[in-house]
Structure formats: C-alpha cells, structure tokens
Amino acid sequence: MKEFNYTITDPEGIHARPAGLFVKAAAAYPCNVTIAKDGKEVDAKRILGVMSLGVKQGMEVTIKCDGDQEDTAVAELEKFMKENL
C-alpha cells in the first residue's frame, strides 16, 4: 500500500467539477483508491462519497492506493492533485 497527504489549495475545495475529475483519475487504476479527511475514509472511485467529505481549501486529505499499479497510481494522483486542487 502507498499513500500521500495533500493540503487543498484550490479556493473552492473539492467542488463538483474537480471532484468529477479526481474520481475519473482514480478510476483509471485497477488498485483500490481511498481518500480520507479527519479520519473519514471513502472510496475515491465513488463521486458521492468523495463529495460527502466536503473538502475545502486548507484541509488535508490522505490518499491511499492498494493493489495493482499502486506506485503509478500514487505518483499520478499526487501530480493530479497538485495541478488541479
């Protein structure tokens, strides 16, 4: 299992549009991907769950990848977060 932490810099947080992009990015990998905030962890491939975290600017999230291609997934998702969120 691989994981990383990231603090959201986008002033709007993980809103509908970026949430959609993020879920799409996560769904591209065969491994399990989760995203957690304040101890609440959800499946990163399910958009309603991701939205339900209500992530805003300045909040830290933890993303975990477990399974096939977890190395690539972690690297690519971290890059995605930095570019989009």
Partner 1 sequence: MFKEFSGKSVFGGIAIGKICIYRKQDNLVKRQKIDDPEAEIARFDKAREDAKAQLQGLHDKALKEVGEANAMVFEVHQMMLDDLDYVESVQNIIRTQQVNAEFATATTGDNFSEMFASMDDDYMRERAADVKDISNRVVAILSGNEGGGFNATEPSILLAEDLAPSETVQLDKSMVLSFVTHLGSTNSHTAILARTMNIPALIGIDFPEDADGHMGIVDGFEGKFYIDPSEELLAEYQAKLDKELEKQRLLQELKGKENVTLDGTKINLYANIGSVKDVADVLKNDAGGIGLFRSEFLYLESSTYPSEEEQFKAYKTVAENMAGKKVIIRTLDIGADKQVDYFDLGKEDNPALGYRAIRICLDRVDIFKTQLRALYRASYYGKISIMFPMIISVDEVKKIKEIVAEVKKELDEQNIPYGEVETGIMIETPAAVWMSEELAQEVDFFSIGTNDLTQYTLAIDRQNPKLDAINDTHHPAILKSIETTIKNGHKGGAWVGICGELGADPTLTETFLRMGVDELSVSPSRILAVRDVIRKIDLSK
Smallest gap from Cβ 55 to partner 1, in A, equals 10
Edge-to-edge strand order for the sheet containing 2-7?
Answer: 2-7, 60-66, 32-37, 40-43
Q: Where do contacts with partner 1 occur on this chain (CB under 8 A)?
A: 12-13, 15-17, 19-21, 23-24, 43, 46-49, 51-52, 54
**15 is annotated as an active-site residue:** yes
DSSP secondary structure of 49-74 = HHHHT---TT-EEEEEEESTTHHHHH
User: Which is closer to partner 1, CB of 17 or CB of 79?
Assistant: 17
Least separation, in Å, of the C-beta of 24 and partner 1?
Answer: 7
